[in-house]
């Protein structure tokens, strides 16, 4: 879209959105595409699918993932469809300290037990992910 804004005062260089002051132009294929149209449409469909998934299950914070915590906001409970959160189980013995993933509805109200799903050890989650990716790579013809 060209000429979305226009300059109303050339001395102060004040610009405003064009509401008919200047004619707008919609230009297509004015430069080479970075990705092809087919890939663009596939990404748009995937983004739409992700949005529908998020609205269906009430997941809106997928951007929490970091290099240290890549599964944040992405592990869902199979019983109540809530998000699993990573917790650290501390101990006076440093060897017993570990990170686990638990359903966020498990202890929602103090004193009341919520979702009965079990915790997942952090190492088990990482290893399961690696095994799954390796299986996809080995069978890429099936998945592609």
- Assign 73 a pLDDT band (cuts: 50, 70, 90): confident
Structure tokens given for 56? 């269906």
Q: What is the pLDDT of residue 123?
A: 93
CA distance 59 to 10: 48
Query: What pLDDT does residue 69 have?
Result: 82
Q: List the chain domain ranges.
A: 1-31, 65-143
Express as a percent the part of the chain with pLDDT over 90. Answer: 28
Residues 6+ apart with CB under 8 A from 96: 89
- Residue pLDDT, tens place only, 82-116: 888 899 988 888 888 899 999 988 887 777 778 88
């Amino acid at each position: 879209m060209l000429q979305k804004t226009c300059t109303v005062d050339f001395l102060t260089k004040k610009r405003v959105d064009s509401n008919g002051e200047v004619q707008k132009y919609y230009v297509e294929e004015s430069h080479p595409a970075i990705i092809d149209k087919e890939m663009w449409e596939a990404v748009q469909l995937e983004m739409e699918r992700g949005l529908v998934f998020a609205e269906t299950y009430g997941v809106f914070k997928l951007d929490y993932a970091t290099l240290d915590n890549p599964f944040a906001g992405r592990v869902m409970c199979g019983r109540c469809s809530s998000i699993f959160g990573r917790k650290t189980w501390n101990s006076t013995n440093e060897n017993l300290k570990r990170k686990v993933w638990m359903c966020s509805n498990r202890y929602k109200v103090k004193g009341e037990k919520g979702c009965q799903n079990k915790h997942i050890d952090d190492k088990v989650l990482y290893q399961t992910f690696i095994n799954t990716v390796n299986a996809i790579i080995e069978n890429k013809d099936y998945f592609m």
